[in-house]
Structure 1
Amino acid sequence: MDAHEALGRRTFVVGAGTALLGGGAVSGAEAAVVDGPLPDFHPALKDALTFPLAWGRSPIRDFRAWRRAARAAVEEHLLVERQDRTPYAPEFGGRSRTRDYTRELVTVSLTRYERVRGALLTPHGSGPFPAVLLLHDHGATFDIGKEKLVRPWYDDTRLASAGAWAEKYFSGRFVGDELARRGYVVLCLDALGWGDRGPLAYDQQQALASNFYHLGSSLAGLMAREDQRAAAFLARLDRVDARRVAAVGFSMGAYRAWQTAALSDHVAAAASVCWMTGLKEMMVPGNNTLRGQSSFHMLHPGLARHLDIPDVASIAAPRPMLFLNGGLDPLFPADGVCVAHDKLRAVWRSRHAEERLRLKTWPELGHVFTDPLQDEVFRWLDSVL
C-alpha cells in the first residue's frame, strides 16, 4: 500500500445501480461509475459478499479441516502453480563483517522463472539462530526494495535513497540490521519490480498486472508464492533453527507477512505493522486502494467471494501473531481495523489461544514503523521465539 498517494474526490453520479436497486428500468444513459471510480451499484456488490468460508460461518466445524479448505481456496486464487520444486541453488557472495553479524548477498531460485538476489544477515556465534523473513513495503518507491530494510553495504548508489527511506518511516533505523544485532538471522529479498528486479514505474503497475492475467497468472500470486518459498529456504539453512522462523513486515510487507504465515507452515510467528482491515470497510470512496496500481500487488481476483482479509490471516491460527496499526493511518480507516481485529480475536479465542494474538493501535501514529513500534516488535519476537 502506497502512503504517498492522495485521492481526488469525484462527484457521485446516480445511475444504473440506483435504478436496479429500486426496481426501475435501466437505459444506456443511466450507466455510470462513481467516486473512486466505483460502479454505482457497488453497494449491491458489497452486500453480496458474505465470506461463506470464514471460520465460524463455514459449515466445516473441525478447525484443522477448515484451515486446509481455506488455504486451498487461497492457493487456487493465486493463479500460479502450487508445487514449484525448483532447487533453490543458492549462491553466496559480497560478504562483509560487522561487530555483531556477518552480511552477505544470496541469489536463489524462488520459482523456475527467475533468480532473485537478497540480503542475508547472520549473527556471530555458533547457532542455530532464530530467523526473520523480512518483507519490504511498496511506498511507490521502486529503486530500492530490500535496501529499505537492510543497509546496502554492497551498493553506494542506493545508500542515499535507502537512508532517506529509513529516516522517513523507520526513525533512521535499518530494521534488518537491528534484528541481526539482536541475534536473528535475517533474509530480505526484492519483490518483482523493486531493487535489482526493477525499477518499475508507478503507472506501469496495472499494465504489468494485466499482462500477468493475460498470461494466465497473477502478479500478487507470484509475490505470495515467492514469499512462501523464501520462508522455506530460510528455515532450511543450517544456521537457522527451523522451529523459530518469523515473518515481519511494514505496509505491503505487513500484508506479505501475515499472508506468508497463512500459506506456510515454516513460519512460526508473524508481525505485521500497518496492513490489516476488513475488505468492505477498506473499499470506500476516497480510499487509496480504489486507485488500482499498488493494489494489484495485493489482489487475488475472486477470493473475496470466499474469505475476508482477516479470514485469510486467520489461517495461521493459533500461531503467535502481532498486528500493529496507527490510529492516524489514512490508508486503513479505524472501523476497518476494528472489524478485522474483532474477527481475528474471535478465531484465536475459539482455539483457546487469545494470549498468542496481540492487537494494538497507536492513536497518535500514522502509516509508519518508527522506533516505538519496532521496539514493540523486537520485544514480542523475543517473547515468542
Structure 2
Amino acid sequence: METPITGAEQFRSEFLHLLLSRRSPQVPLMAESSKPVENPMYQADVPSTEAIESCPREDIGNLKEMLKEENLHLHTEAAEQGRLPLLILSLKEKSEEKRPAVVFMHGTNGNKEWLRPWLEAYASRGYVAIGLDSRYHGERANCKTAYRDALISSWRNGNTMPFIFDTVWDLIKLAEYLTQREDIDPERIGITGISLGGMHAWFAAAADTRYSVVVPLIGVQGFRWAIDHDEWEGRVNSIKPLFEEARIDLGKNKIDKEVVEKVWNRIAPGLASQFDSPYSLPVIAPRPLYILNGGKDPRNPLGGLVVPLKRARKAYKKTASHGEFKFVSEDGVGHELTSFMIKESSDWFDKFLKKEDHDL
C-alpha cells in the first residue's frame, strides 16, 4: 500500500501534467503595479457581504489610514487570461518581521473587490491578505457573460479549463510569487475561498504544498458520487447555460447524467475521476485542513463526502496529524456562507498561522 506521501507526489505530478497540457507558453514570473478598480465587474447580482463583514478584526480606529494597499498584475502565462489581478492589503508595520499570509477566493460571478471587508479584517490582525480575480472574472472579464462564454468555449473546443483548473494554475504561480516576498513568511501561507473559491482553495492546496493551511468554504463535494447517485442538479444549475449547450450538441431532450459526465470530462478532465475529492483531499495531509459546508447544500450533498472524508481522516491519522483535519456541516444551512463559517475559519488560521502558536 502506498504511503500518503508517495500517493501525494503521484497525484501532484499527474495533476500538474494535466494543467500543463492546456497551457499557453510560459513567461517569466513578474508582478506589475496597476490601479485600483473603480467599477468592479459582477456577472450576476452583487452578493451580500454580511458574513465576511462579521470577520473578527482588531479595534484600530484609523484602520483605513493604517492599511497598505497594493494593486498588481502577476504574469502567469502568455495567454490573455495569464495576467492575474491581485489586491493585497496589510498593515503599515514598522517591524520588518515576516508575516503570515492568506489568499482569499471569491465565488462564481464575483471579484476581488467584493472580498475587501474580509481582507481588511485579516490585515488588521497582522496578516498579509491577498484577493484575486479568478479566470474570466473581475478585471479578467470583458463582459457580463465572460465566464459563461468561456465555459461553453471550453466545451466546444477543449483547449482551456475555465472551471477550477486554470485558476489553480494561477494559484500555483501565485504561491511562487508570495514565497519570494520579503514581507511574507513562506512557511505560513493559508488559502480559503467561497463556493467556486472553495473549490479553488481545495485543489490549489492539493496541487501545491506551499499552501500550508487550507479552509474551503461551501465548495468541497464528490463529483463522481453526484453523477452516480443523480445528485448533480444543484451543481449543474450553478452554471446551467453550459450544460444546456452541451445537451443540444449531444442531441438530448434534457440534461442527464451522461451530459454531466461528458461536460466534466471535457472542461475539467479527471474532475469526476482521478482528481475528485476521494483522491485530492487526502494529499493535503498533514497540512491543517478545515472543510465547512452547509448541511442542506444541494450543490455539495453530504452523501458525496462520506468516502472522501473517510480517506482524508485515514491520511491524517497516518501522518500523525489527526487533530489538523476537521469537517463541519452547519445544520439547516444550504449553499450559503455564514458568520459561523467565517469565525471558524478565522480561528483556524490564527491557530496554525500566528507565530506564537506556530513556534510551539
Alpha-carbon deviation of 1:83?
A: 9.2
C-alpha RMSD of matched pairs (Å): 2.8
- Kindly indicate whether residue 101 of structure 2 is the aligned counterpart of residue 131 of structure 1: yes
Aligned match of 1:331 = 299
Rounded Cα–Cα distance in structure 2 between residues aligned with 1:305 and 1:377: 29
Structure 1 residue 310, shift from structure 2 partner:
3.4
Pair 1:249 & 2:249 matched: no
Note if contact 2:295-2:333 (Cα within 8 Å) is conserved in structure 1.
yes
Which residue of the other structure, out of 186, 200, 223, is the alignment partner of 2:129? 186
Sort the Cα spacing of 1:240 and 1:211 in 2 relative to 1 into closer, same or farther, 3 A: farther
Name the amino acid aligned to 2:100: P
Counterparts of 1:135 and 1:286 in 2: how far apart (Å)? 23
2:328 and 2:273 mapped to 1: Cα distance? Answer: 28
Q: Percent identity?
A: 21
Which whole-Å deviations, capped at 9, do the CAs of 1:246-302 have from their partners, x for residues lacking one? Answer: 011111111111111111122111111111122333222552334563997995214
CA offset at residue 303 of structure 1? 5.1
Q: Is 2:76 the counterpart of 1:110? A: yes
Change (3 A) 1:66 1:338: closer
Determine whether 1:349 maps to 2:317: yes
Secondary structure, in 3 states, of the residue corresponding to 1:355?
helix
- Please give the per-residue CA displacement for 1:341-368, whole angstroms capped at 9, x wherever unaligned: 2221122112221111111111132222
Q: What's the TM-score once normalised by structure 2's chain length?
A: 0.74
Quote how far apart the aligned CAs of 1:383 are: 0.3
Q: Does 1:89 align with 2:31?
A: yes
Whole-angstrom CA distance in 2 between matches of 1:275 and 1:308: 13
- Once the two structures are superposed, the pairs formed by residues 52-71 of structure 1 within 5 Å of their partners are 61-71=2-12
Q: Does 1:209 align with 2:151?
A: no
Distance 1:289 1:326, change over 3 A: closer
Alpha-carbon distance in structure 1 between the residues aligned to 2:199 and 2:34 = 28
CA distance in 2, matches of 1:343, 1:82: 35
Which residue in 1 is equivalent to 2:111? 145
Does residue 288 in structure 1 map to residue 237 in structure 2? no
Equivalent pair of 1:242/1:266 in contact (CA under 8 Å): yes
Name the counterpart of 1:8.
none
Q: In structure 1, what is the Cα distance between the partners aligned to 2:208 and 2:144?
A: 28
The answer on 1:80 being equivalent to 2:22 is: yes
Which amino acid letter does the alignment assign opposite residue 176 of structure 1? L
Question: 2: distance between equivalents of 1:175 and 1:268?
Answer: 20
Separation in structure 2 between the aligned mates of residue 288 and residue 205 of structure 1, nearest angstrom: 20
Partner Cα separation in structure 2 for residue 344 and residue 84 of structure 1 = 34
Distance 2:269 2:186 in 1: 33
Distance 1:226 1:270 in 2: 17
Shift of 1:205: 4.1
Which moves more between the two structures, 282-291 or 79-88? Answer: 79-88
Match of 1:315 among 268, 283, 302: 283
Using the alignment, how far apart are the partners of 2:154 and 2:301 within structure 1?
Answer: 26
- Deviation digits for residues 298-354 of structure 1, max 9, x if unmatched? 952145443432311222211111100111212111211333322211221122211
2:211 equivalent in structure 1: 267
Q: Distance in 2 between matches of 1:225 and 1:77?
A: 10
If the length of structure 1 is used for normalisation, what is the TM-score? 0.70
Q: Aligned partners of 2:7 and 2:76: how far apart in 1? A: 28
User: Bigger CA drift: 231-240 or 253-262?
Assistant: 231-240
The structure with the largest alpha-carbon Rg is 1
1:362 has 2:341 as partner: no
CA distance in 2, matches of 1:380, 1:374: 10
Unaligned runs of 5+ in 1: 1-58, 151-173
CA distance in structure 2 between the partners assigned to 1:82 and 1:241 by the alignment: 30
Equivalent residue letter for 2:299: L
Checking the alignment, whether the CA contact within 8 Å between 1:274 and 1:326 is kept in structure 2 is yes
Q: In the superposition, relative to structure 1, how do residues 83 and 350 fare at CA in structure 2: closer, same or farther (>3 Å)?
A: farther
The one-letter amino acid paired with 1:264 is D
**1:11-26 mapped onto 2 (5 Å cutoff):** none
User: What per-residue deviation string (whole Å, max 9, x for no partner) do you get for residues 56-108 of structure 1?
Assistant: xxx5x23332211111122223333499452223325559x814422221122
Are the equivalent residues in 2 in contact too, given 1:90–1:108 (CA < 8 A)?
yes
CA distance in 2, matches of 1:68, 1:62: 10
* Number of the residue aligned with 2:343: 375
Counterparts of residues 151-170 of structure 1 (less than 5 Å): none
